[in-house]
Structure 1
Amino acid sequence: MPKSILPWRRGLLAIGLLAGFCDPLRADALTRDAESMARAGCPDWLPRATRCYSGQDTHGAYYWIAIPDGWNHKLVLHSHGGPRPNAPRPDDPLDIDLRQYDVMVREGYAWAGSSYRRGGYGVRMAAEDTDYLRRLFVERFGQPDRIYLHGQSWGGNVAAKAMELYGTDAEGRHRYDGALLTSGVLGGGTQAYQFRADLRAVYQYYCANHPYPGERQYPLWEGLPKGSDMTPEALNARVDACTGAGLPAEQRTLVQQRTLNNIVDVVRIPPGTLKAHMRWSTFLFQDMVEQQLDGASPFSNRGVRYRGSSNDDALNKGISRFDGDARAVEKLGEDAGLTGMTDIPTVTMHAIDDPIIFVENEWLYRRAREDSGTADSLVQIYTDEAVHSKLSTPQYAAALEALDRWVERDRKPTPEAIARYCETREASVYDGGCHFDTDYEVADWRARVYARQP
């Protein structure tokens, strides 16, 4: 595996990598953060004799670190999903992230995870906080033999962005030896969230209660108007009133069932995920537009022909239309877009029927890596599960083992090899089984999400 990035690409990366890393003030802050890191009591669900550390970095992000007894001197650096809407709490990396992915520690790796400095959207911010934790770990414990990124869900976007921004130093050496991206938002913000803008428009056409006619009107791409005090519970109540989504099917009225069918069939989401997607297209959009995009629209549905309803002509005639602001689209792309410009060995893993982050995100990421000439450093594997937040445990162990073997032995794994790792070893150690579909070929993104006008 070559340890330097392609020469024509090095200059582009060095521009972003050099900025700030030689700043003595930053170095002093890193030293202070390392000195203030405290030993913490490990929970009993971690292996015995694991050492835990926690703290808050100079940016305000909380972190937890776990180092197992018999550490293999390799680090898994975790980028969590979300974005989480609330202010971070000191134990979030432990209670939410490490608890879910303690398999990394059980496999002998040190684990480190950051809460990020604030809740809400911001891929570059989260990538910076992730990489700062890498530097903090090295400052406190020394340079591990290997450092692997693990990005889950939205954290897949964060980890992929961290690879592009911080993955290579000015001399072309890798700061990260590999990356495992699971259930990842790998289409970047400008593409991955378009279907939720479609959802807001389709939902409002059928339900007309978000907002109600007598409430302050606002463009749907805004999520909520500035200053709104709507709660997730209040939104859920509106969705239930219109669609009965939270009710057993036999308790829905005929009108509710017909409305629910129309919405999910047009937007192409499972009925059970409607409320979750409505929350993201409300509260996440509000945060994104207000905090990142100066109140401008990154989304457009101009010219989209919606299909799958009981009356497509009426839907397309009556639905709300909106346009994207060029600068907002550009800013969201700068923050969350992925160029594929990294040759760090990368394994992605995604459930074929992921109900939250469509598997077709993987098609977008492969295209980005192909366009940048780095697809040879990418392996994509799929499972026949229908879950998002946590796939079967032995599959993570198998994927991490495959990535580590790739880096250590310079042997790029095949999906079949990863499936064998799972069946021959991990399935005997962890519950959940192996569900890889090694023949699956991901479909074009445009087969799942409506194409936009150029």
Structure 2
Amino acid sequence: MTSRRAGVAWALVGWAFGAAADPQMPAEAAPQVVPCPAGVGNTTKCLAGQDSAGAYYLIALPSPWNGDLVLHAHGGPFLGAPTAKRVAEDLERWSVMPRLGYAWAASSYRQGGVAVTAAAQDTERLRQLFVAQVAKPKHVYLHGQSWGASVAAKGAELFDAGKPYDAVLLTSGVLGGGTRSYDFRLDLRVVYQSLCHNHPLASEPQYPLDIGLPAHSALKATELNQRIDACLGLDKPAAERTPAQSARVKTIVDVIRIPERSIVSHLHWATWHFQDITQKRTGGASPFGNIGAVYSGSADDAALNAGVLRYAADPQAVATLAADADLTGQISVPVLTVHAIHDPTAMVELQDSFGRTMAAAGHADTLVQTYTGDRDHSYLSDPTYAALLEALSAWTTQGKKPTADSIAAGCEKAQATLGSTCRFEPGYRVKPLDTRVPARQRAAAGG
């Protein structure tokens, strides 16, 4: 594209700068032009700022622009204060979207931590800012990745009456609801402690593992890693571990049903994310419990079940987390999902839970779920997302509801120009979450 034509395109986009904001949200300052991260294309213009609630945001406007906006809800969640770096990293990861002609916008969220509803509100604030300060898109596709899929689903539910989003794309989603998606991480904590006895150490103050960490714990991530390595030898090749270390790793993999490569990450999340939830969201009480859970797959299941610590979820904490992070399925616009069958972070069975939630709300017909044979979580492939967006657009604008087969074919078509891989498995049928995570007694929320 010539610089003259690009200038005309940006002039057309810029007409809306300073336009009236939606009265539901405070007026927002105009974004500033900033350098784009690598990979988004030489004709893409990037705009950034900090909104009235304190969230950083980044917008990418390709030229030529197809007129549609992908509103991105990032995963994590990350703890600590929000940063502009977070959204820049996501734009680099999802650069295929502006390269395909879509405008792209993402919020850092106003706060760190496990706060789903607030993040959904921040994402909607950014949509309104885009409309008021940049341009009115033809269509808005709300995209949530990983934990951000729960943010996007929550936002689609919260704002469904006003239809601000034309369709929803949920990728690698944590979609079982906050009160159920993390059960296995408590299971990991108690099984790990029964094997390793070092988180906490016997010499440290003891605390219930279902709170993650006490409020003022000084434990650092590097210290936890050292404890994990001492017990499991994950810092060594498998052949260099002691027989005891190898046996412990096998027990965790077989009982918790997570791959070895994700043990450290899940232990971290079961430590600091649980701490964030209990200390900042639920008043110090835990919404997680394992009463009635029967663990299997070890060399001696009877001894394991007799030895693990048991906790009852606090009913009010369950109610508080449910109000923020559980889903209702009240989404009346098209919803398309993709999930790697071997996802090491968000187990694929969470998709069964989401399907049941949508069906219970009477919206099974607005949901299409797809699966791939990938073993990754954070990113699958460029043609995978290109096919999903093309299918979602056709569903939205032409009423052509896609199928798993048609999306797989679309990926093969996109692969011809984008390269990389297509691993859709249209015949895959997901199993219920209870086939992978033991059922347990549930607290009556608020009881």
CA distance in 2, matches of 1:166, 1:136: 16
What is the CA-CA distance between 1:45 and the residue it aligns to? Answer: 1.9
What is the CA-CA distance between 1:245 and the residue it aligns to? Answer: 1.7
What is the CA-CA distance between 1:269 and the residue it aligns to? Answer: 0.7
What is the CA-CA distance between 1:226 and the residue it aligns to? Answer: 1.1
Q: Does the CA-based 8 Å contact 2:351-2:430 persist in structure 1?
A: yes
2:443 is aligned with 1:450? no
| Structure 1 runs (4+) greater than 4 angstroms displaced | 24-29
Residue of structure 1 in register with 2:90 after alignment = 97
CA distance in 2, matches of 1:334, 1:44: 39
Identity, % of aligned positions: 47
Q: Does the CA-based 8 Å contact 1:76-1:147 persist in structure 2?
A: yes
2:43 is aligned with 1:49? yes
2:356 is aligned with 1:362? no
Tell me: CA distance 1:29–1:372, structure 2 relative to 1, closer, same or farther (3 Å): closer
CA distance in 2, matches of 1:305, 1:247: 31
Q: Aligned ranges for residues 55-204 of structure 1 at < 5 Å?
A: 55-94=49-88, 96-169=89-162, 174-204=163-193
CA distance in 2, matches of 1:318, 1:344: 48
CA distance in 2, matches of 1:84, 1:157: 14
Residue identity in the other structure for 2:149: G
Q: Does the CA-based 8 Å contact 2:194-2:308 persist in structure 1?
A: yes
CA distance in 1, matches of 2:417, 2:144: 23
CA distance in 2, matches of 1:259, 1:346: 41
What is the CA-CA distance between 1:143 and the residue it aligns to? Answer: 2.1
CA distance in 2, matches of 1:29, 1:76: 20
Q: Does the CA-based 8 Å contact 1:62-1:90 persist in structure 2?
A: yes
What is the CA-CA distance between 1:118 and the residue it aligns to? Answer: 1.5
TM-score by length of 1: 0.91
Q: Aligned ranges for residues 13-52 of structure 1 at < 5 Å?
A: 27=23, 30-31=26-27, 33-35=28-30, 37-52=31-46
Q: Which residue, 252, 257, 277 being the options, matches 1:288?
A: 277
Q: Which residue, 415, 439, 447 being the options, matches 1:427?
A: 415
Q: Does the CA-based 8 Å contact 1:222-1:297 persist in structure 2?
A: yes
Q: Deviations over 1:66-108 (max 9, x none)?
A: 00001111100000000012322223201x2110001110111
CA distance in 1, matches of 2:126, 2:367: 25
Secondary structure of the residue aligned to 1:34 is coil
Secondary structure of the residue aligned to 1:190 is coil
CA distance in 2, matches of 1:67, 1:341: 31
Q: Deviations over 1:406-436 (max 9, x none)?
A: 0010110011111111112x10122322100
Q: Deviations over 1:2-21 (max 9, x none)?
A: xxxxxxxxxxxxxxxxxxxx
Q: Deviations over 1:221-260 (max 9, x none)?
A: 1111111111111111111100112211011101111111
Q: Does the CA-based 8 Å contact 1:34-1:139 persist in structure 2?
A: no
What is the CA-CA distance between 1:57 and the residue it aligns to? Answer: 0.5
CA distance in 1, matches of 2:318, 2:362: 25
2:370 is aligned with 1:376? no
Q: CA RMSD in A?
A: 1.4
2:245 is aligned with 1:250? no
CA distance in 2, matches of 1:44, 1:267: 39
Unaligned runs of 5+ in 2: 1-19, 443-447
CA distance in 1, matches of 2:101, 2:65: 5
Secondary structure of the residue aligned to 2:48 is strand
Q: Does the CA-based 8 Å contact 2:37-2:92 persist in structure 1?
A: no
Secondary structure of the residue aligned to 2:141 is strand
Q: Does the CA-based 8 Å contact 1:30-1:139 persist in structure 2?
A: no
Residue of structure 2 in register with 1:385 after alignment = 374
Q: Does the CA-based 8 Å contact 2:56-2:84 persist in structure 1?
A: yes
Residue of structure 2 in register with 1:307 after alignment = 296
Residue identity in the other structure for 1:121: V
What is the CA-CA distance between 1:44 and the residue it aligns to? Answer: 4.3
Secondary structure of the residue aligned to 1:388 is coil
Q: Does the CA-based 8 Å contact 2:37-2:91 persist in structure 1?
A: no
Q: Does the CA-based 8 Å contact 2:149-2:174 persist in structure 1?
A: yes
TM-score by length of 2: 0.92
Secondary structure of the residue aligned to 2:82 is coil
CA distance in 2, matches of 1:210, 1:319: 13
Q: Aligned ranges for residues 214-363 of structure 1 at < 5 Å?
A: 214-363=203-352
Q: Does the CA-based 8 Å contact 1:29-1:58 persist in structure 2?
A: no
CA distance in 1, matches of 2:280, 2:338: 31
What is the CA-CA distance between 1:320 and the residue it aligns to? Answer: 0.3
What is the CA-CA distance between 1:168 and the residue it aligns to? Answer: 2.5
CA distance in 2, matches of 1:428, 1:288: 45
CA distance in 1, matches of 2:333, 2:409: 24
CA distance in 2, matches of 1:65, 1:252: 48
Q: Does the CA-based 8 Å contact 1:168-1:176 persist in structure 2?
A: no
CA distance in 2, matches of 1:220, 1:325: 13
Secondary structure of the residue aligned to 1:181 is strand
Q: Deviations over 1:367-399 (max 9, x none)?
A: 001001001000000000111011122100100
CA distance in 2, matches of 1:309, 1:66: 50
Secondary structure of the residue aligned to 1:53 is strand
Q: Which residue, 404, 426, 443 being the options, matches 1:415?
A: 404
Q: Does the CA-based 8 Å contact 1:296-1:325 persist in structure 2?
A: yes
Tell me: CA distance 1:247–1:147, structure 2 relative to 1, closer, same or farther (3 Å): same
Tell me: CA distance 1:283–1:26, structure 2 relative to 1, closer, same or farther (3 Å): farther
What is the CA-CA distance between 1:43 and the residue it aligns to? Answer: 3.2
CA distance in 1, matches of 2:26, 2:441: 46
What is the CA-CA distance between 1:263 and the residue it aligns to? Answer: 1.6
